[in-house]
Amino acid sequence: MAEQRFDPTHVVHFDVARGHIELQGASSRVLIPASSLLDLLLAAGDDLARDFGHRLGTEIGRRLSARFPHLKELSIAGMTDHLGGELALSGLGALTVERWGQALVLKLKGSPLAEGGEYVLAAVLEGVLQRALARDARAVFLAGDDDGLRFLFVSEGAAQKVEGWLAGGASWPDALALLQQRSAS
C-alpha cells in the first residue's frame, strides 16, 4: 500500500488581524530570530537547553502520532518524509536518514542552530523518537560540516562508548566501524 506523503498545505496559519501564528495541532508560534534563540539557549546552560530541545521534539512527535496512528509501520522513506517535513516546518533544517551497517544516523542540513546548537538539536531528535516511537535512544553528535550535522542513535551504553572513542581522537567513521566490530564479535 502506498504511503501518504507529507502535505504541509494549510498547516501554518498567519492571523494578521489578531497577530497570531498557528501551527496545526500545536500551540501558538512565535517568530523570533534564530540567532537570538541560540544565544538564549547557550546562556541557559546545557541542562535547560536539552530540556528545551526535548520538549520541542516531544511536541513534534505528538503531531506525528496524531497524524499517523500506525506510525511504527512507516517505512524508512515514509518516516524520513514526514519527520523531515515536521522538522522543516519548525525551521530546524533538512533531514536525511543514513544507515551505516546496523547503525541509524540522522543528518540535519541547513539548520540555523548548527553553530553551537548541536546538543539542542540532538535533544529535539531524541524527544521525537521517544514520543512518536516510544524508544529511548541517545543521539550522539558525530560531526558537523557544510554537509550537515550527523547524529548516531544508539543505546545509552553504546553512546558512551562512541563518545569515548570520539574524544580519544577517532574519526566518526572509525567509531562506527569499531561499534560494528564489537557488536559482531
CB of 180 to other proteins, least distance (A): 6
From residue 51, alpha-carbon distances to 45, 46, 109, 116, 169 in Å are 10, 8, 22, 16, 29
Report whether 122 contacts 53 (CB < 8 A). Answer: yes
CB of 184 to other proteins, least distance (A): 8
Residues in contact with other proteins by CB under 8 A are: 72-80, 84, 96-104, 129, 133, 135, 137, 147, 152-155, 157-158, 161-162, 173, 176-177, 179-180, 182-183
Question: Closer to other proteins at the Cβ: 28 or 155?
Answer: 155
Question: Closer to other proteins at the Cβ: 49 or 162?
Answer: 162
Question: Closer to other proteins at the Cβ: 21 or 130?
Answer: 130
Question: Closer to other proteins at the Cβ: 45 or 164?
Answer: 164
